[in-house]
Structure 1
Amino acid sequence: MFSRRCIELRHFHFCMGGSRFYGRNTSRIIEKLKQDETLVNLVSNAAIENLHDVNRLKNKILSKSEMFRSDDIDRSLIIYFTKSKQFNNGLSYIKFLEEDTKKKLNLFLMNQQFIIYFHKRYADGSLSTSEQELIVQLYNNLKKTSNILDSLSLENAILGLSVTPNWNLCLTLFNDLKKLEDPSSICYSAIIATAFLNGNEKLAWNLWSEMFAKQKTPYDVIFQAYFENLRKFSDRKKILTKLEKLFVACNENNFILSENSILELQKLLNFSGFTFSDSLVNNNGCCNKCGQKLKKLELIEDEFENLKKQFFEEVIIGKNIFNKTNPAELSEFQEFLKSTKGYNVVIDGLNVAYIAGTKQSPEVYSTLLAKVVSHFVEENKKVIVLGRKHMKSWPQKQWRFISSNALVFLTQNISLDDPYLLYCALHCGKDAILVSRDLMRSHLFALKDPKNKIRFTRWLEQRQFQVTHVRNDGKVLFKNPRPYTRIVQHDNNNWHIPFIVAPEENEEPDKIPEKWLCMQKS
C-alpha cells in the first residue's frame, strides 16, 4: 500500500514520504526579509552571474542578520527570488549552487525550477527553446530517479511541462495526481492555460467547468493565455465571439477578473484595434464614460425557492447549529416563521445596535435600534427584529417601542443567530430587505450546490442594507445595495467588464472604488 501522497508511476521513481517540505515557510521567509530594509535592498539588487556572487550574497546576509542560518539560506533565497519574480537570479543561483556542490539537483531544486520556469513564461510572455528543453530534461531526470512521486512534485512537474511543447504529458500526470488528492487551483489553471494556448478549447472548457464545480478559483494565467491566443485572429467579430464566451463563463460562476487580467485584455484590444477605457459606475448604475445604465439581474421565483429550501436543509439543519442551544428553539423558530407573512424588513438587532461600538450602554444600543425600526415603520414597512434574549433587559421605554412596532424573535444568548436571520429574510420573500453589516460569508460555504452559492451571493448583494450612521435627529444613513449586478454586461454598442483592484498596503478594501472597463464593440 502506498501513502495518500505517494503513487507508483510508470515514469517516476522517487518517494519523499509525503512531506510538503519545500515552500512551507515561504511567507515566513518573505516576512523576515521585509522586516529589514537593508536586506530587502541587498537581495532585490543582487546580480547572480557566477559562484562568487552566490557566496558573497549569502555571506552578507548571514553577517547582517541572525534570522537566517547557513543550513537554510540557499532555500530561503531561492524561494525569495521566485516570489519576488527575480526569475533569472533564482535560476542562476540554482545553477551555480549545483556547480559548487558538484551533486545532482535534489528534489527541492528540481521542483523550484519547474515553478520558476512556469511563472517566468507568463511574466515574460515566452520561454526560449533552450529553457523549454531544460524543463523536459528535468522531467526526464525525475523519471530516471524513482518509481514513486509525491503529489507536490507531480504538481510542479505539471506546471513546468505546461509551458513546453510537451504539454500533453501534463494530462497523464494530472490523472496520476487525482489518484492522490484533489489538484490545486494553480494546477487546474496551468493545464487550462496551455490547452487554450495550444488550441484545445474543448479540453480547456471541460477543465474550467470541473474546476468551478470543485469550488477552485482560477489563476490569472488562464486569462492571459486566452487573450494571447486570440491575437492569432484578425477577424474582430470572431474575437468578440470568443470574448463573449469567456465573459458568459465568468458570469455563470460569479467570477470577476483581476486588474492584471484586465491589463492582458487591454493588450489584446490594443492589438486588435478596439476602443476602450477604464470607467466607474455611478450610484444610479450608469457608466461615466458611455452613459449606459447597467442591469440588475434578479433571481427568478424558482431559483429563489430552491435557494430557500437548500439554505434551510444545508445551513440551518446541516451545520447542526442547535448543538449550542435549547433543542426546542428550532421548533419555536419554525412557529415564529408562520407569523411573518407580509413582513418585508428583517433587522439584525445586535449588529445594528453595535454600530456604536461594543462598550456602550444598553441605553445607547436600544436607542439606536429603536431609531432604525422607526425609519422603516415610517416607510410603511413591516419589520422583524432578530436578537438575543438579554436584549429584553434593555431600557423598557425603547424596548417597548421596538417590540410594539416590530415582530421580535430572540434566541438564547449562546445561540448562533446569523442562520436564523438569513433564513428569516429568505422566508419573507425575495424582495425582503435584510439590515445587517455582517457580510455572512461563512454561511456561503455550507451550501453544496455551486449555483446556489451564486444565487445566495447575488440575493444578499441586492437585498442587504448596512447601517453606517444614525444622526442625533434620528436620521438613519445606509450603505445601500448596488442598483445593478456587478457582472460583465453589454448592449448593442458596449461591453462593461468589472475588475478587482488589489488594495495598497494598509488600504481598506471597502474604500477602493469599483472599477470597470468600458469597451466599444465596433
Structure 2
Amino acid sequence: MTFNFVNGISNVVIKAYSKTILRFEFCRFCYRNQSALRDFCSLSTRCRENHSLIRCTSYLLLTMRNRTKSINNSDKPLYYDKEHFANYNLKISLKTDREKIISEYNNYLCGLSTTNNFSEINWEDLKEKTLALDRCMMVNKKNVETIIMKNILSLGSLHFGRSYLLYLKNQNQNVNIVTSSVYLRLCYNYWSQHNVDDVDIIKSICDEIMSKLPLLDSKVAESLILGLCLIDRWKDSFGVIESLKEYYKVSSLSYSAVIKAAFSNRDFQIGWQLLEENMLLGISPEEFVYDSWLDTYEDKNVAINRLLCFFSKYDEKLSTTFAEKLLMNVKKIQHSSSNFEPSLTVVTYKGKCTNCKNNLRTEVLSVSEFNRLRTSFLDPVIIGKNIFLKSTPTELNRFQEFLRRTAPYDFVLDGLNIAYAVGVNNTNSTDVFANMLKSVVRYFVVKKKKVLVLGRKHMKMWPKEPMKYIENNANLFLTDNESEDDPYLLYATLYSGKNTNFVSRDLMRSHKYLLKMHERELNSLFLRWQYQHQYYLIYVLKNGDVIMKPPVKYLQSAHVIKGSDGNDIWHLPCKSEKNANVPGHKKFTMKKWLCLQF
C-alpha cells in the first residue's frame, strides 16, 4: 500500500537519515508532525516500493524523542548552524561534481567508440580515465577491465567491445572471466553488429567458462548460456542449466535464450516443450521469444493462432510494442473482403470494447475454483512459514477465533486504507480519518450489509464519536501496530465465502506471489477473484456521501468471443503502463487491449 504521506516527507526523511539536514529544520519538523509520524511508523512496513524510506523513517523515529525534548527544555533560541550550512552545501557541490565527471567520461567514451582503428594509446588513456572515477564508480586496478567492458555494454557497440577484448588478449593478459562474460552479453544484445571473428571468440570464452562449472556466479552462468545460444552449440545449454539448478534459480532470460535458439534453429517441438514447462513453473519468457516464433514459423495463420491460445491458457499479457507487431502480422494475412478492422483499443469499465462494440466475456469463479483458491491461500500464506513476517501466532489465533464467532460478512473493509484515502499530505487530523471511515461504514450499513472493519490498535486513539459509530454498526478487529493487515483482509474475505467482497485501494500485487508459484493457475484464479470482488473507494464528499467503484466483472485475460456475424473475436490485454500517479480504479479503463478477428 502506498500512502501520499510518503511523498510529503520523503525529502526531509532522507536528508535526516544522511545527516545533511539542518538541526533546526529537522527538530522543527519532528516537533510539528509527531502525530503524523506515529501513524507513518505503523504504516512504513507496508511501503514495499521504497525500502530506503523505511530505514530512513526508523532512524527518524529513534532520534525524534531526544531531539524534540532537547528543544523543549532549552532556553536558547533556535537558529541555523553555520557549520551545518557548510556541510550541506559541500555535499550538494560534491554531488554536482560527481555528475559532471561521469557525464564527461560518458561523452569521452561515446567519442572513442566511433574510432575505426584503436591504438594502444587509446586503450591506456581509457584505462587512466576510468581509474580516475574511483570515487564515483568504485573502480580499482583489479576491476577496471570489467568496468570498462560494462560501460561499453551500456554504450551498445560490439565493434568497440571486440576491439577492447582483443587488445587485452594481445597484452598477454589473463582476461578476467567476468570481463569475458560481459562481452558475451554484449554479443547477445547486439548480435546484428557481429562478424565472423565474434563466433570464434564466443566459442573460446564458452569453453573457458564451462571448464569452471558448476562453480559460477549466476550472472556469469547466464552470460554463458547467452553465448552458447548464439552459436551452433545451443543444446549444450541444457546441460549447463541442469548443473546449475542445484545452486540457484536459473533466470527467465537464460530459458528464453534457449527457447529462442530452438525456434531460430527450427526445432519448434523442443522450443514449445520448454516454453510450456517454464510456464507451469511460473517462469514467464522474455518477449523476444514470441518475436522469434512469429519471425521463424512460415505459416503465419498457424503461428498466430498458437500464440493466441498460449496467451489465453497462461493468462499472459502483451507489451504494447509486441501487440503492435502482432496486429501488423494479422493485418497482412487478413482477407481483403473482411470488414473487420483489428485495432489496439480500450474497454469500458462495464466491459464493452470500443472497437468491435461487443461485450467481453464475464466468468464467475465456480464453487470448486473458489474452494481451491481459498485452501491454497489460507494455509500456506497466512499459517505457513511467513507467519512471523506478518503477525504473531497469538494474534492469528485471536483473529481466527473472532472470525468463527462473527463471520460471514458481506463486506470487509481495509480501515486504514480507507481513512488515508483523503491523503495524509492534506491533513494529519485523526478526526478527518475517523469520519472518512465512518462514512464508508454507513454507506454499507444503510444497504443492510454486514461489515467487518480491519485496522490497527493505534486507531483506538482516534475521536470517540465516529469510532463508537463504527463499533456499534460493524464488527471491528484491530491488529498490532507492527502487523501487516492486508493478509488479514484477504483471509477474512476468503474465509467468509464466495459472495463476500472487500474494499481497498490497494492492488494487492504482492500477495498473489505468495501463492505457490509452480501452480500458475492459482495466480490466475486469485486475479479473477480479486477483479470480481474488490471495491475501490473514489472519494467521500463533504456531506458524507460516498463514491464507490464496483468490481470489474469482465475477464482480464486473453479470451475469444463470438461476434454478431458468428466469427471469433479475440481480446488480449496489454501490460499496464507503469504510472504511480494513476489510481487503481482507473488502471482498468486505461489499459490497452488488442481486438482482432481471427
TM-score range, shorter chain: 0.7 to 0.9
Q: Which residue of 2 aligns with 1:94?
A: 165
Question: How does 1:15-414 map onto structure 2 within 5 Å?
Answer: 36-45=102-111, 46-52=113-119, 53-55=122-124, 57=126, 67=136, 69=139, 71=141, 72-99=143-170, 101-103=171-173, 105-121=175-191, 124=192, 131-142=198-209, 149-152=215-218, 153-230=220-297, 232-233=298-299, 236=301, 238-251=302-315, 255-266=316-327, 268-269=329-330, 272=333, 276-319=342-385, 321=387, 328-341=394-407, 343-358=409-424, 360-414=428-482
Q: Which residue of 1 aligns with 2:573?
A: 498
Q: Deviations over 1:328-355 (max 9, x none)?
A: 5444433332344552111011221122
Q: Deviations over 1:159-196 (max 9, x none)?
A: 11112232222222222222443312211111122223
- The one-letter code of the counterpart of 1:434 is F
CA 1:113/1:509 → structure 2, altered by over 3 Å: closer, same or farther?
A: farther
Q: Deviations over 1:40-79 (max 9, x none)?
A: 4443453142323545555566679962546344422321
Q: Which moved more, 1:297-306 or 1:480-489?
A: 480-489
Q: Which moved more, 1:47-56 or 1:151-160?
A: 47-56
Q: Which moved more, 1:300-309 or 1:462-471?
A: 462-471
Q: Which residue of 1 aligns with 2:41?
A: none
Secondary structure in 2 aligned to 1:347?
A: strand
- The one-letter code of the counterpart of 1:445 is Y
Secondary structure in 1 aligned to 2:190?
A: helix
| 1:428 corresponds to which of 480, 483, 496 | 496
Q: Distance in 2 between matches of 1:437 and 1:301?
A: 26
Secondary structure in 1 aligned to 2:594?
A: strand
Q: Which residue of 1 aligns with 2:55?
A: none
Q: Which moved more, 1:305-314 or 1:211-220?
A: 211-220
Q: Shift in Å at residue 202 of structure 1?
A: 3.5
Secondary structure in 2 aligned to 1:298?
A: coil
Q: What CA RMSD, in Å, does the superposition of the two structures yield over aligned residues?
A: 3.4
CA 1:116/1:508 → structure 2, altered by over 3 Å: closer, same or farther?
A: farther
Question: How does 1:459-474 map onto structure 2 within 5 Å?
Answer: 459-474=529-544
- The one-letter code of the counterpart of 2:595 is C
- The one-letter code of the counterpart of 1:363 is D
Please say if residues 34 and 40 of structure 1, whose CA atoms lie closer than 8 Å, have aligned partners that are also in contact. Answer: no
Q: Shift in Å at residue 323 of structure 1?
A: 8.5
CA 1:325/1:98 → structure 2, altered by over 3 Å: closer, same or farther?
A: closer
Q: Shift in Å at residue 471 of structure 1?
A: 1.3
CA 1:70/1:155 → structure 2, altered by over 3 Å: closer, same or farther?
A: closer
Please say if residues 535 and 549 of structure 2, whose CA atoms lie closer than 8 Å, have aligned partners that are also in contact. Answer: yes
- The one-letter code of the counterpart of 2:136 is M
Q: Deviations over 1:449-498 (max 9, x none)?
A: 44323322332233222323211021223454333222112233432222
Q: Distance in 2 between matches of 1:243 and 1:233?
A: 13
Secondary structure in 2 aligned to 1:257?
A: coil
Matched, 1:452 2:537: no
Q: Which moved more, 1:46-55 or 1:454-463?
A: 46-55
CA 1:445/1:241 → structure 2, altered by over 3 Å: closer, same or farther?
A: closer
Q: Which residue of 2 aligns with 1:514?
A: 591
Please say if residues 195 and 204 of structure 1, whose CA atoms lie closer than 8 Å, have aligned partners that are also in contact. Answer: yes
How many residues align? The count is 478
Q: Which moved more, 1:370-379 or 1:40-49?
A: 40-49
Q: Distance in 2 between matches of 1:267 and 1:65?
A: 49
| 1:484 corresponds to which of 544, 548, 554 | 554
Secondary structure in 2 aligned to 1:279?
A: strand
Q: Distance in 1 between matches of 2:276 and 2:379?
A: 26
Q: Shift in Å at residue 209 of structure 1?
A: 3.7
What's the % identity of the aligned pairs? 31
Please say if residues 470 and 477 of structure 1, whose CA atoms lie closer than 8 Å, have aligned partners that are also in contact. Answer: yes
**Unaligned residue ranges in structure 2 (runs of 5+):** 1-97, 336-340, 562-566
Q: Distance in 2 between matches of 1:389 and 1:146?
A: 56
Q: Which moved more, 1:264-273 or 1:370-379?
A: 264-273
- The one-letter code of the counterpart of 2:118 is L
CA 1:426/1:353 → structure 2, altered by over 3 Å: closer, same or farther?
A: same
Q: Distance in 1 between matches of 2:392 and 2:225?
A: 52
Q: Distance in 2 between matches of 1:147 and 1:413?
A: 48
Q: Distance in 1 between matches of 2:365 and 2:190?
A: 43
As a proportion of its length, which structure holds more helix?
2
Q: Deviations over 1:227-268 (max 9, x none)?
A: 2223x225x3x23432233223432xxx32223433543454
Please say if residues 250 and 256 of structure 1, whose CA atoms lie closer than 8 Å, have aligned partners that are also in contact. Answer: no
- The one-letter code of the counterpart of 1:467 is L
CA 1:280/1:39 → structure 2, altered by over 3 Å: closer, same or farther?
A: farther
Q: Which residue of 2 aligns with 1:7?
A: none
Secondary structure in 2 aligned to 1:289?
A: coil
Please say if residues 48 and 54 of structure 1, whose CA atoms lie closer than 8 Å, have aligned partners that are also in contact. Answer: no
| 2:506 corresponds to which of 435, 438, 443 | 438
Q: Distance in 2 between matches of 1:92 and 1:273?
A: 47
CA 1:51/1:73 → structure 2, altered by over 3 Å: closer, same or farther?
A: farther
**Unaligned residue ranges in structure 1 (runs of 5+):** 1-31
Q: Distance in 1 between matches of 2:194 and 2:181?
A: 17
Please say if residues 155 and 177 of structure 1, whose CA atoms lie closer than 8 Å, have aligned partners that are also in contact. Answer: no
CA 1:96/1:151 → structure 2, altered by over 3 Å: closer, same or farther?
A: same
Q: Shift in Å at residue 436 of structure 1?
A: 1.5
Please say if residues 209 and 224 of structure 2, whose CA atoms lie closer than 8 Å, have aligned partners that are also in contact. Answer: no
Secondary structure in 2 aligned to 1:49?
A: coil
